Amino acid sequence: MGGFSPASAAQRCAVGIHTSPSSPVSRSRSRRQQQPAPPVRRRRLAAPLAVSRRSLLVPRAVAASTDRASPEVRTLPPPPSARKRLDGLLTSLPFLSCRAQAVGRFNLESNSELQVTVNAAPQGAIAEINFEATNTSGSLVLHWGALRPDRGEWLLPSRRPDGTTTFKNQALRTPFVKSGDNSTLRVEIDDPAVQAIEFLLFDEARNKWFKNNGQNFLIQLPTSRNQGQGASGATVVPEDLVQIQSYLRWERNGKQSYTSDQEKVEYEAARAELTDELNRGVPLEKLRARLTKTPESSERDAPAAKTTATKELEKRVSKHEKKKKYSVERIQRKNRDITQLLNKIKPGVTKEQVQAAPKQPTVLDLFTKSLQEGDDCDVLSRKLFKIGDKEILAIATKALGKTRVHLATNDVEPLILHWALAKKAGEWEAPPLSIAPSGSTLLDKACETSFVESELDGLQYQVVEIELDDDGYKGMPFVLRHGETWIKNNDSDFYLDFKTKVTKKAKVIDTGDAGKGTAKAFLERIADLEEDAQRSFMHRFNIAADLVDQARDAGLLGIVGLFVWIRFMSTRQLIWNKNYNVKPREISKAQDRFTDDLENMYKSYPQYREILRMILSAVGRGGEGDVGQRIRDEILVIQRNNDCKGGMMEEWHQKLHNNTSPDDVVICQAIIDYIKSDFDISVYWDTLNKNGINKERLLSYDRAIHSEPKFRSDQKEGLLRDLGNYMRSLKAVHSGADLESAIATCMGYKSEGEGFMVGVQINPVKGLSSGFPELLQFVLDHVEDKSAEPLLEGLLEARVELRPLLIESSERLKDLIFLDIALDSTFRTAVERSYEELNDAAPEKIMYFIGLVLENLALSTDDNEDILYCLKGWNQAMEMVKQKDDQWALYAKACLDRTRLALASKGEQYYNMMQPSAEYLGSLLNVDEWAVDIFTEEIIRGGSAATLSALLNRFDPVLRNVAHLGSWQVISPVEVTGYVVVVDKLLSVQNKSYDKPTILMAKSVKGEEEIPDGVVGVITPDMPDVLSHVSVRARNCKVLFATCFDPNTLSELQGHEGKVFSFKTTSADVTYREITESELMQSSSANAQAGEAIASLSLVKKKFLGKYAISAEDFTDEMVGAKSRNIAYLKGKVPSWVGIPTSVAIPFGTFEKVLSDDTNKEVAQNIQMLKGRLAQDDFSALGEMRKTVLDLTAPTQLVTELKEKMLSSGMPWPGDESDQRWEQAWMAIKKVWASKWNERAYFSTRKVKLDHDYLSMSVLVQEIVNADYAFVIHTTNPSSGDSSEIYAEVVKGLGETLVGAYPGRAMSFVCKKDDLDSPKVLGYPSKPIGLFIKRSIIFRSDSNGEDLEGYAGAGLYDRLVNFFHETQFTHMIKNSFSITAKECACFSVPMDEEDQVVLDYTTDALITDSGFRSSILSSIARAGHAIEELYGSPQDVEGVVKDGKIYVVQTRPQM
């Protein structure tokens, strides 16, 4: 994959890839325009790449066809370098001398070919080209043009066959003549200057193009040529001389930076100059000698070395010839072990950070609260100002119809308030004497009032309160005075705006849930400072820099909070500038200060790097001093140089002087696009609108832009040159992802142009590898290529080369981070551009692209282990294709499923981490609700994860088709009818009862849920294991349960919500149709069994029979459940190669006996109280019940008896290691007992009307087998009901990932009972996590509910999960009383915690070794078959594999 697989991978993947049908000709207009003019900066040379692929036809070449024709075919000519190459080809290859010489025979399709012959003609005669295509339709067309060395476009000859039409004045279209099964055509060329024709074939009836290996066909004509003469005696100048002349012109003109259009003009001007000289009689040889500084022929008799001047000129002129040569090549990626990219750093959230004690309220907090608690008090506006290390709070309120202004400060020094009122901005108007507080002094245009000392909760503060008498006042300006010292707001007046939109902060204060899962105090601090930040970018970035340390101290959520704030700013949700004039260099300096602080945190806190990259990307690079000031200075240069000092340019100039912003990058680009379009003003507005700027926004600036750009045609060249340079300055400050400026900053540059970047010199970053500059040049040369694959490889190679420097915290780290961000951004754009290229691609090509995108995602992700193992999986899938392994598609489908899970996990991580902060801060800052709602979604959509998801969606149907998987997986095949209802999560409705037959379209099903009452069918895009709890429950309850993999089908069904549908199934497909309600009534009897609650069952309450622990020989139905009894029964009866773990048990009634012990009276009382709450349907009591059980104390007798039974059975006694080990075991036992009150078990018993009090729990105690693999067997295929076929699922590690709600699919297989040596794999594993444990003891729930016929109670309790097992972050931000689905599952509890391991299936013999796989799967099938024969009925068997040996840990009747 990329740098991690053989170089031939790309070549293999190219097989079967067709050129995009949107452009039958291989060159785009933009490439034609990029003439080889002398470069002044790194250029993106795409044209040579396309031209270099052109070649003369080769006999027996394959003509590739495209499946669709473009709605708009743009046939474009070769650039000058193509003409040069044509000259070389025609000169080096001999002319055809025979009459009717065969030029080539080409395969068009499997049974069709094209033969081309050319009739040789003497000079001046007509040349004939004959075409014959075999086995074709009658609608074949020749799409063609002629090539002359003196023209840059296709020539459309005047001599044309009958029926020829002109296509957009760019090409000719001539129909073939149908003759039997073949089609023929003759083309005659009478222009002696035409040296070749170029063409494509188009089948109009089938809308299909035929090409020559994805390129145009090119036919050489055998006619003589006159040196220096074209048709009609026209002068032809050799292209090498034109290139030299254009270079010399460029040097004479000051080495300006040209646009593509300017380059073309310059190149043709150079040609015209030389043509003029030749027409004036200057010999061509003399002209060459002058330009190349070489002797004429008379002086060349003796060999001589080239002059220094000649060598230097050739060196200079050949620079972009080298670029052309380099741009043709693909880079050779280095072979690396991809685990070198492994990064296991996980951003951590500590419980203390999330649940930190609320900050001690300040006296100003208490003052605010006292105002809010007043009757009908509405806060009109609130503003907190900093005065040194103190603060002053200004609040305007309205209560009982009266408006009041309150100013409070924690400064206890005597203060005077010097204040006034304003009815318009900037006004100071003395208040009426009637509203001045007692003791005030009225001045000419102000009033002075002393602050009054006060106290709240023992805290001192000072306050002034003013009651207004007129609602016409807009605000209150004020300053403070301490003695003779005036205190101002950063050299400005303080100002409280009465009309400021009321923030929502007042509404969410002290509600409890507001701000949960965030660094709440930090976000509130940001909100307090926002008004000051709105003054300018300088203020915002300086405030942000001041907040960096506070964000760091708040941990991950603090960093996230800072990112959310900056993201709101960058997406224009916050005010950028308000009544403040600031110099660009001041903005740049503040920006540089902020990004320097972020850089320092990046070095010291690697766990935050992923979020810090996001912040840096949103902020831009900045730069102290000259970098920012150039924005202000260079706009003046543009105006002066190009005579555009008025109108829109002057308005933009004033805006730039007042406050530059990222909008200026967009405005500059819009002006450039407008000029390039020959002054089409609609192009200007289109660029603005596409980037979120409309007329209203332009008018909203402090220095508004009212006018539209308007220029003269003679200004075009200079403006494009100068604005192009100016864009570099704008992006250097504002863009965090601009590739060219990022490369220039890291590689170093020195600018000498007049007025632009004068004297600016940036040195290269130290430590870069020797070939890194060439690699970046390759990227720039290919950045606009239509075929993105070489570019993507170059971008990834550059990022991998850069990675060590990013990890090592090298010098100028910030510049390297911005370069990496730019490379990442360019990669995503290139992939999105390549979607069309992949439309007709072979599977290997798509897999190769998926691997490239995965590698890019891994390079941008802090914790990338799962992503890298996904990448290794795709590499292995491509290797399987190469080896012609017929299982490749099935394996690739598992890789695809796992990759999707990785993306979903990443999305969930982002949502949990960011969305609470976005919602809380958004509420504080009054951000538009829609922007808050989509905050995390937009972050994900803007990253590589979204790009990868789009590729997976394209590839999924391809894989399903190749692997013969279809669009459905039927887990429970039942024919049902019912009303379609759409829900997000099955978990959210599992306890609901539907009063009519319902078919749920559930967007999420994890595997642990219950089927709600009244539900007859569940359709989902999720992929729970066939043997998961919900799958078993669906089959037990005769409920249709199926996974739909086709998003279109799923969307169609969801669109029928509320309608009645009928579903019919086979083992591999589902058919459906809409029916009437009357048909539903007729079919209601068919649904009678489906979805209804199982008939009422009863339990017999179990009693304590005097033993706290028993050995296996004492397992009876009065003492233990079916699980324990089955294990005891198997001992000694199964084949010797099947192991049965040693077991003891804690029998029924022991829990109740322990609860009645005197040491546990308080626990018993609490449980009784909680049972009362449950009886009142207070289900929050379930969680409290489980926690209460954990407070039990073990009676001495229980400890003694359990120790004796375990030791006598050969099991280790935990207490022999330490008292702590016994406490671990005792806690595990209590967790098993507590699982009686997990949500799923409780509601399940209610559903079947079982008395929950009668449910008794014994505990099966076994020594854990440290498994390599775990399996579950159903000895009758549960999907098809085929009793002759065993179905089984296998996972790596312990079985909890199989029977629990762990994401992903297990390996699944079937095996015929009469051919147990031939297992058939149905699906490869996609579970990312495996659980492993050292030697330990496991305690399994074994209830009397499992003994009931027709009720699968076993699934309720059998889950190997720690009682409080969930991610730390999810646990801390959970808003409801309930615990996770894993906790809700009933339990088997190991004494020790399992290790979670991210699985690498490419090193797993079960996947990679077919012999080992067949042996293990056959052994599993044999064990299941043996146990079924032992019981005489279908069995549900669980077991493990250790060192190739099969162990069965439990069996029960298959439901």
> Which residues are tagged catalytic?
1029
Helix, strand, coil content of the chain in percent (nearest 5)? 45, 20, 40
- Please say whether the beta carbons of 794 and 773 come within 8 A: no
Query: Which residues are CB-neighbours of 628 under 8 A, at least 6 positions away?
Result: 583, 584, 585, 586, 587, 588, 589, 591, 622, 660, 733
| 196 Cβ contact list (under 8 Å, min separation 6) | 86, 90, 146, 147, 218, 219, 220, 221
Q: Which helix (H) or strand (E) holds 972?
A: strand 968-972
How many other CB atoms sit within 10 Å of the CB of residue 85?
A: 17
- How far is residue 1053's CA from residue 980's CA, in Å, rounded to a whole number? 8
Q: Are 479 and 486 in contact (CB under 8 A)?
A: yes
Tokens of 1234: 């507590």
According to DSSP, the residues that pair with 830 across neighbouring strands are none
- Closest by CA to 406, choosing from 390, 382, 430, 427, is 382
| Cα of 729 vs its chain's centroid, Å | 30
Token couple for 952: 């997976």
Strands (E), 148-195: 165-167, 171-175, 177-179, 182-189
Question: Residue 789, Cβ neighbours under 10 Å: how many?
Answer: 21
Token code pair at residue 901: 């899970």
Between strands 1013-1020 and 1040-1044, the pairing is parallel
Sign of CA dihedral 239, 241, 246, 250: positive
CB atoms within 10 A of CB 1232: 28
1053: nearest Cα among 982, 1115, 1118: 982
Q: In the structure encoding, which two tokens stand for residue 593, read together?
A: 């200060």
Burial class (CB in 10 A: 0-12, 13-18, 19+), 1057: exposed
DSSP 1064-1085: EE-SS-EEEEE--HHHHHHTGG
SS3 assignment, position 1164: helix
**Residue 598: helix, strand or coil by DSSP?**
helix
CA distances from residue 900 to 947, 952, 1228 in whole angstroms, order as listed: 12, 8, 35
Cα–Cα distance for residue pair 391/384, rounded to 1 Å: 7
Report helix, strand or coil for 235: strand
In this structure, what DSSP letter does residue 425 have?
T
Query: What residue has token string 């001007």?
Result: 269
* Contact of 244 with 313, CB cutoff 8 Å: yes
What element of type H or E holds 203?
A: strand 196-203
- The answer to whether 146 and 127 are in contact (CB under 8 A) is no
CB crowding 312-340: b at 16 or more within 10 Å, else e: ebeeebeebbebbebbbeebebeeeebee
**Are 118 and 128 a contacting pair, CB within 8 Å?**
yes
